[in-house]
């Protein structure tokens, strides 16, 4: 049975009318959610530290601001959009002692709930609204009258309003314009972590770097290797995005199609699938979360070392030089949060 995709017409009119929304954190997602919800006519306040970067940007964007504890006090929906590793502290120190009874705690990712970082008060609804795209895209698509498809989930419904709150929030953020799908906290968390690690961020990055290195090690010019293994990837991903694998096949040459069909499985194969299963097992068992939490508690030494290793790759040095000459990229850089 196919999953239901909800649109604006499926959401109860005035689902969160009159409810005050506190956005805690003003990074990529926080900024997009706050602006979209305000533009949709909702009462929004941003909880940020006075004088900080978030306060400055939220004020410049014309949003009401307050210290996080003050923003939470009168809110009906509290969206915690800070990084995963600080959410437990934010909840314990700011939200738990100040949130009013019957308010809803809203997440954009279920990590803190699934891995026991936060145990919400018994009187609070616990809901999730997760746009399937970065904050900059969530904002841009909303401004175009479209929207980024979003997931929503209900972990706990104390007030009987949790579903309306989640769907109403998603509508205000553009998610129901893009298409709204129901999931669970666990499904969202585990699939999101897997996608990031095995395909979107980890898998794609390693494939690009190893392809680049293979060409350079064989004596080809690094600049040519960069265009072949990284730059042109966007063109192929855009075809995937617009029409799936079939559209990609339709718009590439016969030679490219034949090469893809016979050589793709030589690179990504059953051994790769077994490694992917290992990644998923670590996520499902909690091993990945345990290791990431422990890494943060130790000051992130391995994280920093691995990040520096990526920064020091030849493809990064070559790419920076080439991109500096691409005027269209300089003009389209999003405003820093």
Distance of CA 44 to the CA centre of its chain: 21
The percentage of residues in the chain with a pLDDT greater than 90, rounded to a whole number, is 96
pLDDT class for 336, splitting at 50, 70, 90?
very low
- Name the token pair of 304: 């920093």
State yes or no: 26 annotated in a binding site: yes
State yes or no: 304 annotated in a binding site: no
Residue 57 has pLDDT above 70, yes or no: yes
Give the pLDDT confidence score for residue 327 in this predicted structure: 87
- Distance from C-alpha of 168 to C-alpha of 162, rounded to nearest angstrom: 10
Asked whether 23 and 337 are in contact (CB, 8 A), the reply is no
State yes or no: 187 annotated in a binding site: no
pLDDT class for 332, splitting at 50, 70, 90?
low
Residue 261 has pLDDT above 70, yes or no: yes
Angle at 222 between CA 219 and CA 228, to 5 degrees: 100
Distance of CA 59 to the CA centre of its chain: 24
Residues 6+ apart with CB under 8 A from 16: 42, 76, 77, 164, 165, 168, 169, 172
- Distance from C-alpha of 216 to C-alpha of 240, rounded to nearest angstrom: 27
- Distance from C-alpha of 111 to C-alpha of 85, rounded to nearest angstrom: 9
* C-alpha torsion angle, residues 127, 20, 170, 59 (rounded to 10): -120
Is residue 109 flagged as an active site residue? Answer: yes
| Span 272-323, pLDDT tens digits | 999 999 999 999 999 999 999 999 999 999 999 999 999 999 999 999 999 9
| Span 72-113, pLDDT tens digits | 999 999 999 999 999 999 999 999 999 999 999 999 999 999
SS (H, E, C) 323-335: HCCCHHHHHCCCC
- pTM equals 0.93
Long-range contacts (CB closer than 8 Å, 24 or more residues apart) made by 284-288: 284/190, 286/115, 288/193, 288/197
- Distance from C-alpha of 45 to C-alpha of 74, rounded to nearest angstrom: 10
- Name the token pair of 174: 């553009």
| Span 161-201, pLDDT tens digits | 999 999 999 999 999 999 999 999 999 999 999 999 999 99
State yes or no: 220 annotated in a binding site: no
Q: Dihedral of CA 310/314/315/317: which sign?
A: positive
Give the pLDDT confidence score for residue 330 in this predicted structure: 77
Give the pLDDT confidence score for residue 334 in this predicted structure: 54
Residues 6+ apart with CB under 8 A from 110: 128, 130, 153, 155, 185, 186, 188, 189
State yes or no: 271 annotated in a binding site: no
Q: Which of 33, 42, 57, 109 is catalytic?
A: 109
Give the pLDDT confidence score for residue 337 in this predicted structure: 42
């Amino acid at each position: 049975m196919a999953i239901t995709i909800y649109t604006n017409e499926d959401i109860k009119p005035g689902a969160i009318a009159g409810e005050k929304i506190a956005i805690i954190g003003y990074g990529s997602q926080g900024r997009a959610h706050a602006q979209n919800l305000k533009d949709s006519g909702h009462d929004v306040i941003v909880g940020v530290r006075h004088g900080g970067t978030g306060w400055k940007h939220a004020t410049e964007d014309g949003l009401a601001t307050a210290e996080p504890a003050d923003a939470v006090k009168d809110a009906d929906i509290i969206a915690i959009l800070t990084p995963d590793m600080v959410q437990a502290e934010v909840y314990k120190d700011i939200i738990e002692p100040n949130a009013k009874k019957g308010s809803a705690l809203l997440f954009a990712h279920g990590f803190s709930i699934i891995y026991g970082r936060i145990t919400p008060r018994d009187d609070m609804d616990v809901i999730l609204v997760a746009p399937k795209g970065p904050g900059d895209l969530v904002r841009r698509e909303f401004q175009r009258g479209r929207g980024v498809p979003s997931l929503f989930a209900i972990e706990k419904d104390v007030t009987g309003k949790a579903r309306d709150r989640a769907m109403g929030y998603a509508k205000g953020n553009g998610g129901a314009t893009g298409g709204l799908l129901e999931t669970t906290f666990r499904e969202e968390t585990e699939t999101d972590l897997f996608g990031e690690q095995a395909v979107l961020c980890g898998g794609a990055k390693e494939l690009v770097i190893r392809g680049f290195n293979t060409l350079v090690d064989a004596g080809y010019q690094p600049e040519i290797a960069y265009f072949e293994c990284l730059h042109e990837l966007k063109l192929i991903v855009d075809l995937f995005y617009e029409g799936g694998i079939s559209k990609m096949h339709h718009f590439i040459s016969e030679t490219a199609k034949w090469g893809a069909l016979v050589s793709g499985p030589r690179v990504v194969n059953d051994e790769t699938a077994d490694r992917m299963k290992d990644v998923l097992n670590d996520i499902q068992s909690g091993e990945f979360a345990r290791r990431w939490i422990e890494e943060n508690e130790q000051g992130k030494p391995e994280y920093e070392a691995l990040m520096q290793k990526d920064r020091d790759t030849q493809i990064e040095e070559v790419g920076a030089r080439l991109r500096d000459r691409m005027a269209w990229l300089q003009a389209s850089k999003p405003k820093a949060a």
